[in-house]
Amino acid sequence: MKLNGKSVVVTGASSGMGKAIVERFAKEGANIIAVARRKERLDELAEALKDNGGRVIPFVGDVSKEEIMNEAIDLAVKEFGRLDILVNNAGIMDDMSPIGDVKNEKIEQVFAVNVYGPMYSMRKAVQVFLEQGDGGNIINVASLGAMRTAAGAVYGASKAAIVSLTKNTAYMYMPNGIRCNAIAPGGIVTEISTSMGMPNMNGYNRVKNVMATAPAPGSAEQIASAALFLASDDSSYVNGDVLLVDGGWAAG
């Protein structure tokens, strides 16, 4: 088992990639605090994985709140004795608006979940890692949309912020043995489109040209495989990287 006894916090664990990451990590022996807002989903996940490797503890909360992320990481330390790995996966889409149409409410909503949440959790995780004194591992879920236009202005900017935050953290804490990498998925079959609402048609009509070049969508399990690579010692010399998992979309 590649994560035997590791203490992990995974955000956005109630569906899509986060759920697949919890399933894969638990089977590899990890003990996991599974964070999201939908309690029933998290309870079902924990129940399903009960006899299947590590422990999974549901933690219900909004990742955009600093106190929630602090509590989730404190819970990992309390229950599992330490923190080894943080996976910032929770995220929401924008409505595909180009900058000329963007509403303040959308900027605030998307940045709160996609950027502020990871900043709060990374700050807390790094403090715990430094106190423990033996390194640590952070995996952020960015997007192909950080590098090219796959959604609206706000979503792309939020994911570009995550790429920058990933590289900065990798460099700053390199001497402390803390690794920080990101995954940039292409199009993956999940429930993410439910967070989009009604698309802005100016943006949608431009983005659909980019979408037309996409390969068949990938699965959440394929992202979980990439996350397992980054979480395990198989990637021990990988730091500050953005691993593109897009079936070749960006190569076109």
Ligand X SMILES: NC(=O)c1ccc[n+]([C@@H]2O[C@H](COP(=O)([O-])OP(=O)(O)OC[C@H]3O[C@@H](n4cnc5c(N)ncnc54)[C@H](OP(=O)(O)O)[C@@H]3O)[C@@H](O)[C@H]2O)c1
Catalytic residues: 155
By beta-carbon proximity to ligand X, the closer residue of 49 and 113 is 113
Among the listed residues 64, 97, 149, 232, the single contact to ligand X using CB under 6 A: 64
Report if residue 58 touches ligand X, rule: CB under 6 A: no
How far apart, in whole angstroms, are the C-alpha atoms of residue 29 and residue 192?
28
Which part of the chain contacts ligand X (CB under 6 A), choosing from 23-31, 186-194, 196-204, 227-235?
A: 186-194
By beta-carbon proximity to ligand X, the closer residue of 37 and 82 is 37
Query: Among 233, 137, 122, 231, which Cα is nearest to 176's?
Result: 137
Report if residue 231 touches ligand X, rule: CB under 6 A: no
Helix (H, G, I), strand (E, B) or coil at 9: strand
Contact status, residue 108 vs residue 199, Cβ threshold 8 Å: no
Which part of the chain contacts ligand X (CB under 6 A), choosing from 36-44, 76-84, 127-135, 206-214?
A: 36-44
How far apart, in whole angstroms, are the C-alpha atoms of residue 77 and residue 101?
44
Among the listed residues 29, 135, 187, 240, the single contact to ligand X using CB under 6 A: 187
By beta-carbon proximity to ligand X, the closer residue of 33 and 36 is 36
How far apart, in whole angstroms, are the C-alpha atoms of residue 209 and residue 47?
42
Among the listed residues 9, 26, 33, 63, the single contact to ligand X using CB under 6 A: 63
Report if residue 62 touches ligand X, rule: CB under 6 A: yes
User: Across the strands, what pairs with 11?
Assistant: 35
Strands 178-185 and 31-36: unpaired
Which part of the chain contacts ligand X (CB under 6 A), choosing from 84-92, 94-102, 121-129, 226-234?
A: 84-92
How far apart, in whole angstroms, are the C-alpha atoms of residue 174 and residue 136?
10
Report if residue 70 touches ligand X, rule: CB under 6 A: no
Tokens for 105?
């409410």
Helix H or strand E encompassing 127? helix 117-132
Report if residue 73 touches ligand X, rule: CB under 6 A: no
| First-to-final CA distance of the chain | 37
Least gap, CB of 150 to ligand X (angstroms) = 7
Which residues of this chain interact with ligand X, rule CB under 6 A? Answer: 11-18, 36-38, 41, 62-64, 89-92, 113, 141, 143, 185, 187-188, 190-192, 195
